[in-house]
A and B are shown apart, each in its own frame.
Chain A
Amino acid sequence: MATPVIMPKQGQSVESCIISQWYKKKGDSVKTGDLLFSYETDKASFEEEAKTDGVLLEVFYNEGDEVPVLYNVAVIGQAGESTAEFSPDGFAGNASAADAPEATSPVVQAAPVAVATVSAASADGKIKASPRARVMAGKKGIPLASVKGTGPNGRIIVRDIEAAQPVAAVATPVQAPQSPVAAASVSEYGNAEYEVKKLTNIRKLIAKAMHESLQNSAQLTHHLSADARKLLALRETVKKAQKADPAFPNVTLNDMVCWAVIRALEKNPEANSQFLGDSIKTFKQVHLGMAVDTPRGLMVPVLKNAGDFSLKGLSNHLRALAEGCRKGGIDPELLQSAAGSFTVSNLGNYGVEMFTPIVNVPQVAILGVNAIVQRPADIGGGVTAFVPYIGLSLTYDHRAIDGGPATLFLKEIKTQIENFQVHID
């Protein structure tokens, strides 16, 4: 009996994934554990291994295809076994417009490819559409495959795209504005003077999130700085310890600031909240988001229950999250802004002295960490000396927090930093 390979479901909100690359092709022998294909969601990429031995009998989707989760992607079995029963509904290779079943499940309705082939693909599986209709569909985010062509020989023409717009919006309210099929099919172009690249999905998401944040909340930023001598002293201790024991965790200044922030949040829970329009959700635990710069774009993974960890543990967990983002494979659930209660964004490494981070809504505040700058300060005894100060920029949503509490919270972070006392050994 042949075994289907299904598209795994990566997280609650993931409804479909795009196949990035096939490592095996139809007819190849596979062993359990062999890499079959890689795939990606809006936010992360994954690899799927074979879970059984046999021959890759059938491949239902190609690289670049969007596949609804839990759909059959391929079939592994013994040579000669039938694969027809595993064919996903609407699969272009074996379903014609006439005999394809009506799409019924909510998942199928939300998946453009499945809808697609039911109505528009021709006998050879190619979609006929005029160039103008293609461009228009791309702009409006309408998957061509979901459109019925009324032009000569069933060609999709402009009027079909115009007519398709409201239908598509009803059928796939969530997917329509960010249709991965349309995005994937649009090529790059340009000329000698410039290059135009279509947005990647992650870039679209970032753009949307940032724009919505600024449009839908009342943000302002306070800046102050904290004497960082204690942090730097501890950092020296860490470095020394690492020299003695290479396995000693590399506790960074950022880890220390996060530690301080967690402590401050515990004392000021109104900043450890989400603003939900008609209510404010205040968390009992700190779920700390951390902005991570990756080759694919900005990601903000969340460390759940961050307050539970020791400084070393915090450091290890934050590092693991960041690596997960850079390499792919992070649980997409942890990338949702709703998963976090507060976010830290550190640009200090780059020498930024002050910035206004954007709140990761629905969270109500975000801390920007800046570079350490030597500033003259009264160090007591009538002596003024240069002291390293670390800059802190707190952006908060004034809908949720007023200026007074926000300032007190920021001040608390400063206090935590200036009185940093963690024994590390």
Chain B
Amino acid sequence: MPKSQFIHPKDVRKAGFIEFGKIPVNQYSKKLSDERADYSDADLLRIYHDMAVIRNFEEMINAIKISSEYNGVKYNHPGPAHLGIGQEAAAVGMAYTLGVEDYIFGSHRSHAEILAKGMSAIAKLNDAELTEIMTRFQNGNILRVVEKGFKGSVKELAMQFLLYGTMAEIFARSTGFNRGLGGSMHAFFTPFGVYPNNAIVGGSGDISTGAALFKKVNRKPGIVVCNIGDASMACGPVWEGLVFATMDQYKKLWEGEYKGGLPLIVNIMNNQYGMGGQTNGETMGYDIAARIGAGLNPEMMHAERVDGYNPLAVIDAYRRKRAILAAKNGPVLLDVLTYRYSGHSPSDASSYRSAEEVEAWKQHDSIIAFGRELAKAGIATETQLDAIRNEIKTQITDILKMATDDAVSPLLADSETIGQMMFSNGSADSMEEGRTPDVLMPLEENPRVKQIKGKVRFHTDAEGKPVSKMKMYQLRDGLFEAIIDRFYKDPTLVAYGEENRDWGGAFAVYRGLTEAIPYHRLFNSPIAEGAIAGTAIGYAMCGGRALVEIMYCDFLGRCGDEVFNQLPKWQAMSGNVIKMPVVIRVSVGSKYGAQHSQDWSSLVAHIPGLKICFPATPYDAKGLMNAALQGTDPVIFFESQRIYDVGEQFHEGGVPEGYYEVPFGEPDVKRAGNDVTILTVGSTLYTALKAADELQAKYGVEAEVIDARSLTPFNYEPVLQSVRKTGRIVLASDASVRGSFLNDMAQNITQLAFDELDAPPVVVGSRNWITPAYELERAFFPQKEWIIDAIHERILPLKGHTASTNWSDAEILRRNKHGV
């Protein structure tokens, strides 16, 4: 909440009406002859050609799916194929004006867009640029396949390259654009400005907003087009993306050249069906999708319905909308009306629509209609158009032969390669070397930096006396130091989330950042966790580094798709084309009951492709944040609200002032002992230390306390080393015990050190309940007594100890039987 904007009750309480302007619907009325100023014959023939290529490509896939044969080439493709036969004009119209530096994002039904944008790029790139792209991409792997025996121009070769790379990708070949790891629904090719297509409906909704944010924040040329289905307008992430894209602050609070709207066109490829659901008339209530713009900002997102069956109407709209974006008045919403004759997928029996309806649309077929216009205008004869289509058919047949020939287009030879692609494991000070980061003051003048300078960086002073909280360097200071350091190193770094700017973050980690970092690099997001995570993903896909915050771990559910399906997967699904330097700070709550106090680190640990850490000390917090921000992989960075104010108790000499990294995956022995190992995740470290104190004092049992620090990756060696010594291990964290990641660790320890164990590993977690109110928390979260009781009851009976909690077999069985 910026103080600069005064909310005056007199203003906001005034009576009045919201006035909506008009949203144009199919207002394009030009004839071909009207457009001849802008199009040469060749331009118009190219439009026809591109549409015909897409049609033929899709018909080929359809034939392969339905009859396992196309034009004499036999092939069985078990994978998906969501075709857009009928939607060619919308795709070509969308892509026609776009430059290579303009990025498109798409959906599961985006073959047409890949090809249209690819052909548009080939038309705009010169031979040298095309050769460079084809030679460098995957070390020329794809080029080598298509150039063999090919005699033609570079542009023709590039066309072969585009068709082949897309087709091989659909057929999961290692010579596909994404080494066959993306497939039909995910194929893309960034050198032509084709960014990830997303098989989660609406998945691109917030991701493309993040891409537009990248363009804007880093002053990169080009716009971003989000190709998205009409039915996806129902999806939360799309709505959140739209809200994020239309925030007032771009135009009202961002300063200088950063002032103004996002360069984003949300292009609804409105084929009027979501699978089988009719969006207009059944599953939505907008009547015309363009109406959505009116709900988002006073500009109504410059929304417009455009006739997607006329390529020139779409091109016309793009020319006009581009001007709006150039004037920083974006974003724009386009409702491009189209229709698919093909089913949702080849298994679609079209039970939801009549044959007459499909036939009626075929009567309006864009390719036939456009060809007729060309013939009428004397640009090409029907025979010439037939020749174009026949040539395309031959070309696609030839490429199909190549793409399905195992000798030419092998599958990934070593499937372990997939494992190597899960993480990029990069190390980069900056995602854009050579550019000076935008900051508002020299680092040393920052008030927080000055304040921290006066703090004691260890929990005791030189005489060993405890330092007061106010004078002590706290865990939040460690996070701050790492983050502000990166802001001064990496010009692409942006940080946002709820209350990240003036407030300084809900837990004061960012206090002092507002003074140092301009608005466009540090801002408050809408309360839209889906968009917070999703935009960060799009931002990183384009080459930036993003640090976003989920204020409470409990809100992770709000960005479930982004964290489970998008963030972890794109590095591998892209065949390592894309890097994903996104750090999501997730703060685990305390004292706030059932929806604000859960440790969900286990949920994300289950998802392949994420790096996960949960530091519990200032030293580790700073070191791991440095490592997270230096890396190129997605990190879920857990913090605990219980311990933002702890001082450093373990690292000798206190927290270093300079830069250092704590490597991911390395657990740390916080206290040495010989009798039992306690492995903890997160703030439970301190509970375990209390238990260790009591074990030592009362029972003479020396506990070795190990802080896991990371969940993924995780090096078991130090833990096994400890277990070899002690023979006993308890694992403890605040996560609910059922499905806790600790069980995974316990299982691995059991199989790796079975003969070393004097008892089965015991997991101490929170109960499988709602988190109760603070007053009742002791019954829910692991307490030191639980750890001691667990040791006594299940590992090593302690002389004279009486357990206060129940660890019997019967109780374990009972709890599980009742699911609590």
How far in angstroms is the closest Cβ of chain B from A183? 17
Residue B262 at the A interface, CB < 8 A?
Answer: no
B379 interface residue per 8 A CB criterion: no
Residues of chain B contacted by A135 (CB below 8 angstroms): 755-756
Interface readout for A157-171 with B: 1 if CB under 8 Å, 0 if not?
A: 111000000000000
Chain B 749-767 interface residues, beta-carbon cutoff 8 Å to A? 754-759
A125 at the interface (CB under 8 A from B): no
User: Residue B795 at the A interface, CB < 8 A?
Assistant: yes
Task: Answer yes or no: B793 CB below 8 A from chain A CBs.
Answer: yes
B797 engages A132 (CB within 8 Å): no
- Which residue of A has the minimal Cβ distance to B760? A130
Within 8 A of B (CB), among A26-70: none
Cβ B793 vs Cβ A152 within 8 A = yes
Selected from B754, B758, B797, the residue in CB contact (under 8 A) with A133 is B758
Complex Cα–Cα for A158 and B755 (A): 12
User: Interface 1/0s, chain A 139-172, versus B by CB < 8 A?
Assistant: 0000000000011100101110000000000000
Q: Which residues of B contact A150 (CB under 8 A)?
A: 797
B757 with A132: CB separation less than 8 A:
yes
Q: Among the listed A131, A151, A155, which residue makes an inter-chain contact with B755, where contact means beta carbons less than 8 Å apart?
A: A131
Chain A residues with CB under 8 Å of B757's CB are 130-132
Number of interface residues of B (CB under 8 A): 12
Interface residue B331 (Cβ < 8 Å from any Cβ of A):
no
Q: Once the chains are docked, how many angstroms separate the CA of A305 from the CA of B582? A: 91
For A152, give its contact among B755, B756, B794 (CB under 8 Å). Answer: B794
Q: Is A157 in contact with B755, judged by CB distance below 8 angstroms?
A: no
B727 (CB) vs chain A CBs: closest residue: A132
Report the minimum CB–CB distance from A19 to chain B (whole Å). 27
B772 to chain A, nearest CB (A): 30
Task: Write the nearest CB–CB distance from A350 to chain B, whole angstroms.
Answer: 41
Residue numbers in A under 8 Å from B795 (CB-CB): 151-152
Q: How far is the CA of A159 from the CA of B794 in the complex (A)?
A: 15
CB pair A158–B758 under 8 Å, yes or no, is yes
**A158–B794 alpha-carbon span in the complex (Å):** 14
User: Is B646 engaged at the interface, CB distance under 8 Å to the other chain?
Assistant: no
B483-506 CB contacts (< 8 Å) to partner A: none
Q: Write out the residue numbers on chain B whose beta carbons fall within 8 Å of the beta carbon of A133.
A: 758
**B-side contacts of A159, CB under 8 Å:** 796
Among the interface residues A133, A135, A155, A157, which one has the most CB atoms of the partner chain B within 10 A? Answer: A157
| Contact between A152 and B758, CB atoms less than 8 A apart | no
Cα–Cα distance between A190 and B246 once the two chains are bound (Å) = 66
Q: B727: which A residues are within 8 A, CB to CB?
A: 130, 132, 158
CB distance from A190 to the nearest CB of B (A): 14
Taken together as a complex, chains A and B put the C-alpha atoms of A130 and B755 apart, in Å, by 8
Rounded to whole angstroms, the CA-CA distance of A389 and B267 in the bound complex is: 105
Of B754, B756, B759, the residue contacting A155 (CB under 8 A) is B759
Q: Note all chain B residues with C-beta closer than 8 A to A132.
A: 727, 755-758
Interchain CB contact under 8 A, A130 and B759: yes
User: Chain B residues with Cβ under 8 A from A155's Cβ?
Assistant: 759
When distances are taken between beta carbons in the complex, the residues of chain B under 8 Å from A152 are 759, 793-795, 797
Q: How far is A406 from B353 in the complex, measured between Cα atoms in Å?
A: 113
* Bound Cα distance A304, B756 (Å): 51
Complex Cα spacing A130 to B797, Å: 14
- Contact status A151-B797, CB under 8 Å: yes
Give complex CA distance A157, B701 in Å.
15
Chain B CB within 10 A, most for which of A151, A152, A155:
A152
Which of A150, A155, A158 has most chain B Cβ within 10 Å?
A158
Complex interface: chain A residues within 8 A of B756 (CB): 131-132, 135
**B754 partner residues in chain A, CB cutoff 8 A:** 131
Q: Who on chain B is nearest to A159 by CB?
A: B796
Contact between B794 and A130 (Cβ–Cβ < 8 Å)?
A: no
- Taken together as a complex, chains A and B put the C-alpha atoms of A131 and B752 apart, in Å, by 12
Residues 304-350 (chain A) with a chain B CB within 8 angstroms = none
Bound complex: CA A134 to CA B793 (Å) = 20
Whole-angstrom distance between the alpha carbons of A47 and B221 in the complex?
A: 94
Interface residues of B in 98-122 (CB under 8 A from A): none
Whether B793 contacts A157 by the Cβ 8 Å rule is no
> Which interface residue of B758, B759, B796 has the most chain A CB atoms within 10 A?
B758
* Chain B residues numbered 730-774 whose CB sits less than 8 Å from any CB in chain A: 754-759
Closest Cβ of chain A to B38, distance in Å, is 72
| Distance, CA A155 to CA B794, complexed state (A) | 10
Would you give 28 A-B contacts (Cβ < 8 Å), ordered by A?
A130-B727, A130-B757, A131-B754, A131-B755, A131-B756, A131-B757, A131-B758, A132-B727, A132-B755, A132-B756, A132-B757, A132-B758, A133-B758, A134-B755, A135-B755, A150-B797, A151-B758, A151-B759, A151-B796, A151-B797, A152-B759, A152-B793, A152-B797, A155-B759, A157-B759, A157-B796, A158-B758, A159-B796
Chain A residues engaging chain B, CB cutoff 8 angstroms = 130-135, 150-152, 155, 157-159
Top 8 nearest A-B pairs by Cβ distance? A130-B758, A132-B758, A132-B727, A158-B758, A131-B755, A157-B758, A135-B755, A131-B754
5 extra interchain contacts, Cβ-Cβ under 8 A, other than A131-B758, A151-B797, A157-B796?
A132-B755, A151-B759, A151-B795, A152-B759, A159-B796
